[in-house]
Amino acid sequence: MSCESVERDLDAYLDRELDAESSAGVREHVRSCASCRRQLAQRESLARLVRAAPYYSPPDRLRTRVLVQTTRSQSVRRIFTWAAAAVLVLSVGAGITLWRPAPGRGDVIADEVVNGHVRSLMANHLFDVQSTDRHTVKPWFLGKLDFSPPVIDLASIGFPLVGGRLDYVGGRSVAALVYQRQKHTINVFISPEGDDRSTRDLVLTARGFNLRHWIHNGMSFWAVSDLNSAELSEFTSALRSS
């Protein structure tokens, strides 16, 4: 199956409208094609968001209405379904998440964030400074970066800070703080806001990892982990309100 046909069938695949053979074709292609896998993950995370969004009537009802109204062709119908979903996500928004059909700066950074996370675990280079004491971790960055990252310990709610290191994301040196949740590692990449033009909050899944992005006090934050989405949200909202 080619990337083009996978792309064409992706929505139908997610909507479980493909026959078994085409479904298997998409699944098989996505296993070996990173770019289509990314697309699928983006669609899935949008679908999840729509399902999880508050103030929102059941998606099935909306879908039924959209389907009834647009009977012309499958593709028109799908465009309407996804467009309606996207509009809903945006209107529910109050800064929750942005979904963009074309890859934007945020997606590129997200990819680098995942790379940084994987690299830190694979190369056994998680720490330059290994300490649960933020008064040790924060000063360590002094003189190594042209900014001072906020260093917060969340041990009291089960997300202990375990260290930090320098990393490289989006073409610049960034602070990476490392947190632990049981067996899971959370990397938080911090850099000054100006370098990262995506100012909106992002909730993403990429290559099986959960990602969160937000801007706070002039700093851009990216959190990434294999931790489940709910616990990562708990972590990031605690970090944001600290």
Which positions touch Zn ion (CB under 5 A)? 3, 33, 36
Strand-pairing partners, residue 178, are: 163, 187
> Which one, 36 or 177, has the nearer CB to Zn ion?
36
Query: What is the nearest approach in angstroms of Zn ion to the Cβ of residue 36?
Result: 3
* CA 41 – CA 207 distance, rounded (Å): 7
For residue 151, what are the CA distances in angstroms to 33, 96, 110, 216? 37, 24, 22, 13
> Which one, 36 or 110, has the nearer CB to Zn ion?
36
Q: CA Rg, the chain, in Å?
A: 20
> Which one, 36 or 151, has the nearer CB to Zn ion?
36
> Which two tokens mark 235?
């972590």
What DSSP designation does 193 have?
A: G
* CA 140 – CA 153 distance, rounded (Å): 15
Query: What is the nearest approach in angstroms of Zn ion to the Cβ of residue 3?
Result: 3
Query: What is the nearest approach in angstroms of Zn ion to the Cβ of residue 2?
Result: 7
Strand-pairing partners, residue 188, are: 177, 223
> Which one, 33 or 145, has the nearer CB to Zn ion?
33
Query: What is the nearest approach in angstroms of Zn ion to the Cβ of residue 1?
Result: 8
* CA 42 – CA 154 distance, rounded (Å): 29
> Which one, 36 or 162, has the nearer CB to Zn ion?
36
Place of tokens 């994301």: 169
